[in-house]
A and B are shown apart, each in its own frame.
Chain A
Amino acid sequence: MPELSVLFLAACMFFGAALYTSVGHAGASAYIALMALFGVAPAVMRPTALALNILVAGFTSFRYLYAGLFRWRTLWPFLIGAVPFAFAGGAIQLPGAYYRPLVGVVLLFSGARLLWPTDLTTNKEPRDPPIWAAFSAASASAFCLD
């Protein structure tokens, strides 16, 4: 029988996964936050979050692909820009003293904008992303944030 704290942590992860997969994410940052709150050893947190991320992302990808909610032209420039750098980012640790707070502030503003009760006008008539822009953005974010 697992400890009560493990069951509570699993229950919280359930809600985290439900929230994150509703936007196509897999929940790694939520799992890390929850494991930190529950006192899981730091050395265990990253591999656990990565393993859960792969599981959830795999299932979520299948659901959205099956539902027709996917467009390859949108994805591939991001993918070829990001995957090599995600591989490299898994092998090394970059000093994150500068870029992490910077990206964090950008995400906070983006999150606040989405929660603001005014519609986004830019995504009503979407167009394909420019290849160079998607490639560059994906390369930088994958290398720095892995």
Chain B
Amino acid sequence: MLFLGWSATKPASGVAAVFILCNSIAGLLGNVAIVKALPPDLPIYAVAVALGAIVGTTLVIRWGTPMILKALGAVLLIAGLKLIGVY
């Protein structure tokens, strides 16, 4: 969206969030059996990521676009390294 000029930077974050939510739910409905493998420590992880989400979204809503683009660059590098098998 950003490289092709299909969205301004901040609304792209909102569009991506709803897109990921819908796809994650669809992925879960496609294989509901995997919920049996959820670990007992899940509530601890859930609290941690929820707090992280509060921090991350607050930074974007209150701060400017350059920080978003740099953070997105870091996220894409991490995801890219995973896909080429670095971890």
Q: Which A residues lie at the B interface, using CB under 8 A?
A: 2, 6-7, 9-11, 13-33, 36-37, 40, 43-44, 46-48, 50-61, 63-65, 67, 69-71, 74-75, 78-79, 82-84, 86-91, 100-101, 103-108, 110-115, 120, 122-129, 134, 138, 142, 146
Q: Are B52 and A15 in contact (CB-based, < 8 A)?
A: yes
Does A107 lie within 8 Å of B79, measured CB to CB? yes
Please tell me which one of the listed residues A18, A40, A58, A91 contacts residue B56 in the complex, with CB atoms under 8 A apart: A18
Q: Are B75 and A20 in contact (CB under 8 A)?
A: yes
Chain A contact residues: helix, strand, loop or mixed: helix
| B4 in contact with A129 (CB, 8 Å) | yes
A18 engages B87 (CB within 8 Å): no
Complex contacts, A111 vs chain B, CB 8 Å: 72-77, 79-80
Q: B42–A51 contact, CB under 8 A? A: yes
Chain B residues bordering chain A, tally (CB within 8 A)? 77
- CA of A54 to CA of B49, assembled, Å: 11
Q: B27 touches which one: A15, A21, A87 (CB < 8 A)?
A: A87
Q: Are B26 and A90 in contact (CB under 8 A)?
A: yes
> Hey, which chain A residues are within 8 Å of B57, CB to CB?
21-22, 59-60, 63-64
Complex contact A123–B8 (CB within 8 A): yes
Of B7, B20, B34, which one neighbours A57 at CB under 8 angstroms?
Answer: B20
| A50 touching B27, Cβ below 8 Å | yes
Q: Which of B12, B22, B42, B67 contacts A24 (CB under 8 A)?
A: B12
Q: How far is the CA of A87 from the CA of B23 in the complex (A)?
A: 8
| Distance, CA A18 to CA B57, complexed state (A) | 7
A100 CB → nearest B CB, Å: 5
